[in-house]
């Protein structure tokens, strides 16, 4: 089931439009109306195109109240589904996955909506997975998990083979080890605008104009962001969880930047996969004609790339 809420436009049906009061909310600590040193240019252009500076503090608080109303609306609809599953005696044989595709600024940096940026308010998503079989342990999981990993996990829970070449990393994988970092990429292969366009006024759900490509690497403590047409960013998430101080041009962090950049390049060269998760090629035996017979994982990759013709595929 797909719900558009919570999402701009910030509106909800009765009674959810009045469940929360703007007075309940405060502006986030990273709220600002003007750009600061190290801020990506794309953020300032979105701030201008969305006319965010014209919105008063009360307007942002109204949006927050309505956003929470939207969340409550979705929660109640999910409750109806769970109640019906229980009524039909299906709840204990149903995997329930509840998650989102992205976050929302809603006041962070003085804007709302989303864009091709890698702030935690946009890339961290809520996710609840209920597995009645018990193969997924109950409780909170603090591991670094990429959204595609849940795809692989659901396939394992359902006993469906993983597709060849998948970058996903199932939580039920044999010898599972938590990821050390998360990789993300976004934007389109077109340059963004360099400056605000006079007279352009975008309203949700119209997309922003900043679609230039970029990529991100995030560990528990650090986040490195690179943009094809913008500045680079480094944030110490331990001391700066709201990502307000871009450290990229600070020479003190040169070694950290080098190590994160090397890791980011590794993952980009592996099409987003973690190098340590790639299947290792093994030779099962040498054929009588001297040609190596590869294991199943290696031969599947070779066949996809044309190195191993489909009618000569070998292996387990």
Q: Is residue 247 in some structural domain?
A: no
Q: Is residue 132 in some structural domain?
A: yes
| Residue that finishes a domain, picked among 108, 136, 164 | 136
Q: Is residue 248 in some structural domain?
A: no
Nearest to 108 by CA among 98, 118, 100, 94: 118
What's the pLDDT at 208? 78
What's the pLDDT at 289? 86
**Structural domain of 289:** 279-316
What's the pLDDT at 313? 47
Name residues of the chain where pLDDT drops below 70. 305-316
Phi, psi dihedral angles at 55 (to 5 degrees)? -85, 130
| Residue that finishes a domain, picked among 93, 114, 136 | 136
For 216, the enclosing helix (H) or strand (E) is: strand 214-218
Q: Is residue 210 in some structural domain?
A: no
What's the pLDDT at 21? 97
Nearest to 45 by CA among 215, 194, 245, 211: 194
Q: Is residue 243 in some structural domain?
A: no
What are 133's two structure tokens? 């079989």
Phi, psi dihedral angles at 284 (to 5 degrees)? -70, -40
| Residue that finishes a domain, picked among 88, 121, 136 | 136
Q: Is residue 7 in some structural domain?
A: yes
What's the pLDDT at 309? 60
Alpha-carbon distance of 275 to 299, in angstroms, equals 18
What's the pLDDT at 228? 93
Number of domains in the chain: 2
What's the pLDDT at 20? 98
Q: Is residue 286 in some structural domain?
A: yes
Alpha-carbon distance of 235 to 45, in angstroms, equals 21
Q: Is residue 41 in some structural domain?
A: yes
């Amino acid at each position: 089931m797909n719900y558009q809420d919570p999402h701009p436009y910030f509106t909800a049906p009765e009674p959810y439009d009045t469940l929360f009061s703007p007075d309940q909310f405060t502006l986030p600590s990273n709220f600002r109306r003007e750009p600061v040193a190290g801020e990506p240019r794309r953020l300032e252009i979105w701030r201008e195109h969305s006319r965010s500076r014209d919105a008063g503090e009360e307007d942002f608080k109204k949006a927050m109240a309505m956003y929470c109303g939207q969340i409550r609306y979705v929660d109640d609809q999910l409750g109806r589904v769970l109640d019906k599953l229980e009524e039909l005696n299906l709840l204990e044989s149903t995997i329930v996955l509840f998650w989102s595709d992205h976050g929302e600024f809603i006041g962070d940096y003085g804007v709302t909506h989303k864009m091709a940026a890698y702030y935690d308010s946009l890339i961290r998503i809520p996710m609840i997975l209920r597995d009645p079989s018990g193969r997924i342990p109950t409780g909170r999981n603090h591991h670094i998990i990429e959204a595609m990993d849940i795809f692989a996990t659901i396939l394992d829970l359902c006993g469906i083979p993983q597709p060849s070449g998948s970058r996903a990393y199932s939580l039920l994988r044999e010898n599972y080890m938590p990821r050390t970092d998360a990789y993300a990429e976004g934007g389109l292969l077109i340059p963004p605008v360099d400056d605000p366009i006079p007279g352009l006024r975008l309203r949700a759900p119209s997309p922003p104009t900043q679609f230039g490509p970029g990529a991100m690497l995030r560990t528990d403590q650090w986040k490195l962001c690179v943009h094809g047409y913008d500045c680079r960013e480094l944030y110490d998430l331990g001391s700066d969880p709201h990502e307000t101080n871009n450290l990229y041009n600070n020479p003190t962090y040169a070694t950290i930047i080098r190590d994160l950049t090397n890791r980011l390049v590794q993952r980009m060269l592996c099409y987003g996969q973690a190098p340590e998760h790639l299947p290792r090629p093994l030779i099962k035996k040498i054929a009588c004609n001297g040609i190596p017979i590869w294991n199943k994982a290696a031969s599947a990759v070779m066949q996809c790339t044309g190195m191993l013709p489909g009618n000569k595929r070998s292996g387990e």
